[in-house]
Amino acid sequence: MSLRRILTVDNKADLTVLKQVSKPVTAVDDGLRALMDDMLETMYAAPGIGLAAVQVGEPVRIIVMDLAREGEDKAPRYFVNPEITWRSDELFVYEEGCLSVPEIYDEVERPARVKIAYLNYAGERVEEEAEGLFAVCIQHEFDHLEGVLFIDHLSRLKRERAIKKVKKDAQAAAA
């Protein structure tokens, strides 16, 4: 397993990749599982609760996630070719963050519950309903597969301010 670099919006080349629509996976094989292992290790190290493959420069439709709280056993989850098959009319607001937009947090309103279908780590098809943080996180990560960042849900002013701050922080860290 190896740690991958997480692409961030302050870098023009990274942003171009992050805006791509990710391609479907054709087979869940050992090569793909190695990528999922790398993604999970990278997500834990960040630390984060979710990660899409495009965030490590691989624009394929894979998401990893672990919503276990501090002190609980690890609970890794893998979503290959995920689909959102139903969205509730009820909405839910949550203050989101993103490893590709470091240190920026803001409220995003999304459907409170969604039904999803995907292939798991073993390549088996799973269907389930998500609510609470699971629903927030899967929709945030699904957006990444479509080239959408959580700041794209904010006003233009907030989005431009966010990118400016990430750039400023990156310059200060490099100095």
Residues catalogued as catalytic? 141
Residue 143 identity: D
Q: Report the distance separating Cα 161 and Cα 167, nearest Å.
A: 10
Q: What 3-state class would DSSP assign to 81?
A: strand
- Residues in contact with ligand K1U, counted by CB under 6 A, come to a total of 15
Is residue 143 involved in binding ligand K1U (CB under 6 A)? no
CB within 8 A of 161, min separation 6: which ones?
A: none
Is residue 136 involved in binding ligand K1U (CB under 6 A)? yes
Site for ligand K1U in 8-47 (CB under 6 A): 47
Q: What token pair was written down for 70?
A: 């501090």
Q: Report the distance separating Cα 140 and Cα 122, nearest Å.
A: 24
* From 39-47, 90-98, 111-119, 152-160, span contacting Zn ion (CB under 5 A): 90-98
Is residue 100 involved in binding ligand K1U (CB under 6 A)? yes
The binding site for ligand K1U (CB under 6 A) comprises 47-51, 55, 96-100, 136-137, 140-141
